Amino acid sequence: MDRKQLKLFAAACMIFDHVVRIFPLYRLFSPLSDALWAAGRETAANWVIDDLTLGLMFIGRLAAPIFVYGIAMGFLYTHDVKRYLRRLLVTAVIAQVPYTLFDLAEMRRCYGIAGDWRDTGLNILFTLALGLAALAVLEHCRQRQKLWLGLLAAAAALVLGRSIPMEGGKGYILLIFVYYFARNLSCWQKALLFIPAVMLSRWGLVWWAVTEQSAGAVRNCLLKVLGNYLGMLVTLADSGEKGQTGRAFQYGMYAFYPLHFAVLSLVGFLLPPLA
């Protein structure tokens, strides 16, 4: 799978993840579950609502680790990291309004409440931009025999990712570094390294699941930790080829991010609330 195919696959997973936030899976499968329940097949009905919906939700969890991987590899191959960072930041700023509207549309559509735009954090492109900047500083310092200064910059980025509400936060920034420095390892070595990496990146969820020991906590941890690990494993399919891309594809991918939020938020506000 070349880099273009990886990006398209991640984009498809992201669309799925965001569509089901406006059209929840449990509502889509409720008629089937009700029919099974009425036919006396309670076990099958519960499987549809619980296990099938959980399994499908894993599709959406694959997207972010692939996009994070794209940042690490993009830094490795870009000819101008400043321009790359500028594109990310400009798109992040443009996307923030539709990203916030999408969050509000989901609250209205699924929960019947107005929501508060101030509760919406920064979108994932801000996280990726911060990770890219930290990686660039770290590599710059390493080449000038000042690794300690680069490590301080990386630590500062992780602190900022934890302190500022942004999607993925410090966890995704950590994974950027993991991807970059593990790039020359074999596939099986990466697969093993990804296990502690993803658990550390989602340490809060892991700790919550261990201490809470409730079905909801374990389910959420399973979805977001195992889901992210599976997404990391998908990156092992990278052939190293760039694929047939041009400026139209590149800028189309950037434009797609805010545009799909704008469309879904409009749909979410136009449709009646489910609650």
Distance CA 174, CA 89 (A): 19
Looking at residue 211, what is its pLDDT?
83
The answer to whether residue 85 is domain-embedded is yes
The answer to whether residue 275 is domain-embedded is no
Looking at residue 152, what is its pLDDT?
92
Among residues 11, 45, 12, which one has the least CA distance to residue 26?
A: 45
> Exposure pattern of 72-85 as b/e (b: 16+ CB <10 Å)?
bbbbeeeeebeebb
205: CB partners within 8 A, 6+ apart = 220, 221, 224, 225
Looking at residue 275, what is its pLDDT?
64
Distance CA 106, CA 223 (A): 20
Distance CA 268, CA 114 (A): 12
The answer to whether residue 234 is domain-embedded is yes
The answer to whether residue 59 is domain-embedded is yes
Query: What is the residue-level pLDDT of the chain in tens, covering all 275 positions?
Result: 888 899 999 999 999 999 999 999 988 889 888 888 888 888 888 888 888 999 999 999 999 999 999 999 999 988 899 999 999 999 999 999 999 999 999 999 988 888 888 889 999 999 999 999 999 999 999 888 888 898 999 999 999 999 999 999 999 999 999 999 999 999 999 999 999 999 999 988 888 888 877 877 888 888 899 999 999 999 999 988 887 777 888 889 999 999 999 999 999 999 999 86
For the chain, where are the alpha helices, taking DSSP H only? 3-22, 25-38, 42-46, 53-61, 63-77, 81-111, 124-143, 147-163, 169-181, 187-201, 203-212, 215-221, 227-234, 247-270
Range of the domain at 224: 3-270
Looking at residue 111, what is its pLDDT?
87
Angle of the 124-143 helix axis to the 63-77 helix axis, nearest 10: 30
Looking at residue 208, what is its pLDDT?
82
Looking at residue 67, what is its pLDDT?
96
Looking at residue 130, what is its pLDDT?
96
The answer to whether residue 129 is domain-embedded is yes
The answer to whether residue 29 is domain-embedded is yes
The answer to whether residue 220 is domain-embedded is yes
Beta carbons of 228 and 65 less than 8 angstroms apart: yes
- Count of domains forming the chain: 1
Distance CA 194, CA 102 (A): 31
The answer to whether residue 116 is domain-embedded is yes
Distance CA 135, CA 8 (A): 24
Q: Two tokens at 89?
A: 């930041």
Looking at residue 199, what is its pLDDT?
93
Q: Two tokens at 90?
A: 């400009």
